[in-house]
Amino acid sequence: MVIISVSRRTDIPAFYGDWFINRIKEGFAMYRNPMRLTQVFAVSLHPKDVDAIVFWTKNPKNFLDKLKYLEEYTYYFQFTITPYGKDIEPGIPSKDEVIETFIELSNMIGKKRVIWRYDPIIITDKMDLKYHKEKFEELCEKLSPYTQKCIISYVDFYSKAVDELNRINAKDLAAEELYNLFGAIGSIGKKYNLSVETCAEDVPVEELGLKKAHCVDGELIKELRKEKGFHDNKEYKKDNNQRKACGCVQSIDLGIFNTCKHFCTYCYANFSRNSILKNAKKYDVNSPLLCSRLDLEKDEIRIREKDGSIKLDKEAILKAEANQKELMAQLDFYEYEKISLEENSNNWLIEKIIDYLRKTKQETLL
């Protein structure tokens, strides 16, 4: 079983919700290895194979009517609301509209499952500590009845964003300045009974009464799964693919870089506006890949396993088909689906992929 991240790399609820729900209906999704784009991984999205889904978004308004398709899943939202205007977040609707969506989502799924992110904090000559204290308190007044937790972090000067951050004269704070900033924000959060946590920061915030965040949170997932009647008490491993100070547990991210149309100046996941617009044109709600299509003359498909992956080649397909025929000779369709999932989820997933390749007339390329 896996945790699915949707997504650190783009805002799927805001822009690609129809694609994600199609993947839920089909029972699987694919994603490219960002370090080797011709390597494509397939992952089952069957409820039996998914521990939880973590959504990351700044505007899920158009996704709310799709939550009905997720009733069998454990999920929660990381929902970012900052005080910035169109000069920094040009693609975000008005704050009033976003706050209204936050409240609506919380009323639908409960405030435990809607985590507010005041992130990233950017300090400039105009947006100083006083500015952030005032804006954070204004947002606390509006959001605290609808969430239990706020996650904060200071902006990272990634090479992809440094020119834009320099344009607005963003300041790279020293450790002591960060300590004072987080302490001030944390004190305000406490007034509103919010648990304030820092994301991937080395500052010793525990002595301020704050916690270090686990944005993909194994303990929260176990708690939410227990509420749904699951008592598996699984131990989740730290995600070593993230930054050293990151507290997240392992997950699989279905997103792709250079596809988020919020165009935020501080974003680490976008390289250029032209690349975003070019990739967005590749969006196909029926493709198993986000903003991309399989090219089996170049792409290598791999099936995720507990301790690695296996290549989907003719041998794997023949083995899956033989298993399918053997089971179906003994069982009716519904019994077969149940047994196939319980005994070998990989066979079930391979069959789903083969069905897709047949529909798109690509199966002969394997």
Cβ pair 51, 235 in contact under 8 A:
no
> What's the structural domain count of the chain?
2
Residue 304 in any domain: the answer is no
Query: In angstroms, rounded to a whole number, what is the distance separating the alpha carbons of residues 53 and 255?
Result: 13
Q: At what angle do helices 333-343 and 314-328 cross, to 10 degrees?
A: 130
| DSSP codes, 63-130 | GGGGGGGGTTS-EEEEEE--S--TTT-TTS--HHHHHHHHHHHHHHH-GGGEEEEEEEE---SSS-HH
Query: Counting Cβ atoms within 10 Å, is residue 207 exposed (0-12), middle (13-18) or buried (19+)?
Result: exposed
pTM of the model: 0.92
How far is residue 286 CA from its own chain's centroid? 20
DSSP β-ladder status, 28-33 and 36-44: antiparallel
> 353 and 243 in one domain?
no
| Domain-ending residue, one of 239, 262, 280 | 280
What size, in residues, is the chain? 366
Instruction: For residue 301, tell me if it sits in a domain.
Output: no
Domain stop point among 280, 297, 325: 280
Residue 101: give its domain's CATH number: 3.80.30.30
Per-residue pLDDT of the chain (366 residues; tens, 9 = 90+): 899 999 999 999 999 999 999 999 999 999 999 999 999 999 999 999 999 999 999 999 999 999 999 999 999 999 999 999 999 999 999 999 999 999 999 999 999 999 999 999 999 999 999 999 999 999 999 999 999 999 999 999 988 889 889 999 999 999 999 999 999 999 999 999 999 999 999 899 999 989 999 999 999 999 999 999 998 888 999 999 898 889 999 999 999 999 999 999 999 999 889 999 999 999 999 999 999 999 888 899 998 766 678 788 767 777 766 766 665 555 454 444 444 444 456 778 888 888 888 888 776 655
- Locate 2 and state its tokens: 């896996």
The reply to whether omega before 47 is within 30° of 0 (cis) is: no
Domain-embedded: residue 295: no
Q: Same domain for 120 and 195?
A: yes
Are residues 275 and 329 both part of a single domain?
no
Residue 286 inside a domain? The answer is no
Are residue 251 and residue 334 in the same domain, yes or no?
A: no
Residue 53 half-sphere exposure, CB side, CA atoms within 13 Å? 27
Contact assessment for residue 122 and residue 87, using Cβ atoms and an 8 Å cutoff: no
> Residue 335 is part of which domain span?
312-365
